[in-house]
């Protein structure tokens, strides 16, 4: 990896082949030096004599050579290669009437693709074309991942779900998928058997992710003779490992593998309190959209469930494998790392109290029946907001107490009073008021919990005071509102 790329995460969009950009006839680009194959991650224009400090790696660097007259072409190109630039686009006119011969020779010598940009083509047009190609590639990748997810879910509902999932996974990745024990024994496999050295690499990675003598990673990868080899530990499955061998390593393949890990963990892991096959069938039906009440008997009937919302403590995004590892620690393969969501969600069977996890901020609901998961999801969301605002690793939902002054008011009367008192407020205002009161009127902590600007919190609370015609600095008013919010 180039030095400039250290610690830099490439964008989620698949890289664009240079050949795809050269094929855009309206740009009139022409490769005049260096190899034909290159992959572009970004576009950057610079006229600096040494743009190295500002490159991340993978760029198509665009330049008109403003400072190249006084610079050494060989040094300039070698610095670009050292920074990890993917290609150099050189615009002819107004500085040069043609690409300098020294630059062409230097690019050939250092193996950097050199593209001639004609006078009529603006650098912004090239950047726009690259972003458009990236958007198209991203769309194709999302469609491929979506189709793979649907195919895997369908395979998991078959009478032989594990072999069916592996077969679908191998077909989607155009490689081999195998379920292995901790010692490397093949339990189920699909796809063409790899070469002996690739098979040996897979066995080695299996031991890495299933090592119980020390903290082990949830996944491990290697490349052997062009074959990409991966091993993933299955959460809650007593040492089972998913092994993959593929001839490519696309960004979407990690997502597909993560979906398979969750499904195979669900299918392979034993469950207490219900027949394993029946529970697996119920959970797959839930994945496919069946109403919870219809599968409740297969899930142990009255057994309680806890919903956990989680965010990485460092604020980093969470990939499906990392989310699956959290689920394994919490004792459940039922993990939703959903793209576009603010938090990972884990559905944990049983009523045991959730404990803090290093590197995570957690909010846990109270134990509920399978038919009340929507309520538990809201409880966990609020608990996570409080945990983030208070900078604490875990907050449990606090149910309304059945004793004290609240117990003196009949529930139906309390609910009617809450509905009448809060009727002027919209749902966002109610949620903001609830959070603000729970955090003792702290603007900053409420803004952190709701992930909005503190001025937004002030505006909403001011609006609440106006609609309720109440002084929110009055403790009696706050107490009555808090009682209504808890009752609601």
Of 215, 201, 208, the C-alpha closest to 182 is 208
User: Which two three-digit tokens encode residue 475?
Assistant: 């403790």
Please report whether residue 415 resides in a domain: yes
Same domain, 35 and 78: yes
Please report whether residue 250 resides in a domain: yes
Residue 151 has pLDDT above 50, yes or no: yes
Average pLDDT for 325-331: 76
User: Which two three-digit tokens encode residue 222?
Assistant: 């290697």
pTM exceeds 0.75: no
134: helix, strand or coil: helix
Please report whether residue 295 resides in a domain: no
Same domain, 126 and 184: no
- Are 147 and 218 in contact by the 8 Å Cβ rule? The answer is no
Residue 117 CA, distance from chain mean position: 37
User: Which two three-digit tokens encode residue 73?
Assistant: 């072409």
Of 204, 240, 196, the C-alpha closest to 221 is 204
Please report whether residue 293 resides in a domain: no
Q: What is the CATH number of the domain that holds 84?
A: 3.40.1390.20
Average pLDDT for 187-206: 86
User: Which of 253, 268, 283 is the C-terminal boundary of a domain?
Assistant: 268
Same domain, 108 and 8: yes
Average pLDDT for 263-289: 59
Q: Check residue 63 and give left, alpha or beta (phi > 0: left; psi -120 to 50: alpha).
A: beta
Domain count, the chain: 4
Same domain, 99 and 171: no
Residue 419 has pLDDT above 80, yes or no: yes
Same domain, 109 and 203: no
- Give per-residue pLDDT as tens, 439-471: 888 898 888 888 889 899 999 999 999 998 888
- Give per-residue pLDDT as tens, 82-141: 999 999 999 998 889 899 999 999 999 999 999 999 999 999 999 999 999 988 888 888
Residue 400 has pLDDT above 80, yes or no: no
The Cα-based distances of 107 to 68, 73, 434 in angstroms read 14, 9, 63
Q: How many residues are there in the chain?
A: 488
Confidence of residue 327 (pLDDT cuts 50, 70, 90): confident
User: Which two three-digit tokens encode residue 228?
Assistant: 């990409």
Same domain, 223 and 329: no
Please report whether residue 144 resides in a domain: no
Same domain, 432 and 361: no
Residue 160 has pLDDT above 70, yes or no: no
Same domain, 319 and 436: no
Residue 39 has pLDDT above 80, yes or no: yes
What percentage of residues in the chain have a pLDDT greater than 90?
26
- Are 260 and 165 in contact by the 8 Å Cβ rule? The answer is yes
Mean pLDDT (the chain, rounded): 82
Task: Give the pLDDT confidence score for residue 273 in this predicted structure.
Answer: 36
For residue 41, the enclosing domain spans 3-132
CB-neighbour burial class of residue 345 (10 A; exposed 0-12, middle 13-18, buried 19+): buried
Please report whether residue 288 resides in a domain: no
User: Which of 242, 268, 294 is the C-terminal boundary of a domain?
Assistant: 268
Same domain, 119 and 30: yes
Same domain, 336 and 387: yes
Q: What is the CATH number of the domain that holds 410?
A: 1.10.10.2840
The phi, psi pair for 405, rounded to 5°, reads -65, -35
User: Which of 396, 420, 446 is the C-terminal boundary of a domain?
Assistant: 396
Please report whether residue 290 resides in a domain: no
Residue 431 CA, distance from chain mean position: 26
Buried b (16+ CB within 10 A) or exposed e, 113-144: bbbbbeeebebeebbebbeebbeebbeebeeb
Same domain, 382 and 413: no
Please report whether residue 287 resides in a domain: no
Same domain, 383 and 412: no
């Amino acid at each position: 990896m180039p030095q400039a790329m250290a610690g830099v995460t490439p964008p989620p969009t698949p890289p664009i082949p240079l050949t795809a950009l050269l094929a855009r006839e309206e740009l009139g680009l022409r490769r005049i030096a260096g190899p034909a194959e290159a992959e572009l991650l970004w576009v950057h224009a610079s006229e600096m004599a040494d743009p190295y400090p500002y490159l991340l790696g993978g760029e198509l660097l665009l330049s008109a050579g403003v400072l190249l007259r006084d610079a050494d072409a060989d040094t300039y190109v070698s610095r670009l290669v050292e920074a990890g630039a993917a290609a150099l686009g050189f615009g002819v006119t107004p500085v040069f009437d043609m690409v300098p011969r020294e630059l062409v020779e230097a690019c050939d010598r250092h193996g950097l693709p050199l593209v001639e940009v004609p006078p009529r083509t603006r650098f912004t047009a090239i950047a726009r074309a690259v972003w458009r190609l990236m958007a198209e590639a991203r769309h194709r990748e999302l469609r491929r991942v979506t189709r793979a997810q649907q195919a895997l879910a369908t395979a998991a509902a078959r009478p032989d779900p594990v072999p069916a999932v592996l077969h679908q996974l191998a077909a989607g990745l155009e490689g081999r998928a195998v379920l292995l024990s901790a010692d490397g024994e093949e339990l189920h496999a699909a796809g063409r058997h790899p070469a002996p050295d690739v098979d040996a690499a897979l066995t080695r990675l299996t031991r890495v992710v299933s090592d119980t003598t020390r903290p082990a990673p949830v996944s491990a990868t290697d490349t052997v003779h062009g074959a990409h080899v991966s091993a993933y530990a299955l959460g809650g499955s007593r040492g089972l490992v998913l092994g993959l061998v593929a001839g490519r390593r696309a960004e979407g393949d990690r997502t597909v593998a993560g979906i398979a890990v969750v499904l195979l963990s669900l299918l392979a892991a034993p469950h207490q309190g219900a027949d394993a096959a029946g529970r697996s069938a119920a959970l797959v039906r839930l994945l496919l959209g069946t109403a919870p009440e219809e599968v409740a008997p297969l899930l142990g009937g009255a057994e309680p469930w806890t919903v956990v919302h989680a965010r990485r403590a460092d604020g980093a995004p969470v990939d499906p494998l990392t989310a699956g590892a959290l689920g394994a620690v919490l004792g459940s393969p039922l993990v939703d790392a959903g793209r576009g969501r603010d938090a990972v969600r884990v559905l944990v069977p049983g009523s045991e109290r959730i404990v803090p996890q290093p590197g995570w901020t957690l909010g846990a609901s109270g134990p509920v029946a399978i038919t009340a998961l929507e309520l538990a999801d809201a409880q966990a969301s609020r608990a996570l907001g409080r945990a983030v605002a208070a900078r604490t690793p875990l907050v449990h939902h606090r149910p309304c107490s059945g004793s004290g002054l609240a117990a003196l008011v009949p529930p139906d009367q309390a609910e009617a009073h809450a509905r009448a008192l809060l009727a002027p407020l919209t749902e966002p205002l109610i949620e903001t008021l609830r959070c603000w009161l729970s955090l003792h009127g702290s603007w900053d902590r409420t803004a952190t919990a709701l992930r909005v600007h503190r001025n937004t919190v002030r505006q909403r609370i001011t609006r609440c005071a106006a609609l309720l015609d109440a002084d929110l600095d009055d403790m009696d008013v706050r107490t009555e509102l808090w009682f209504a919010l808890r009752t609601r």
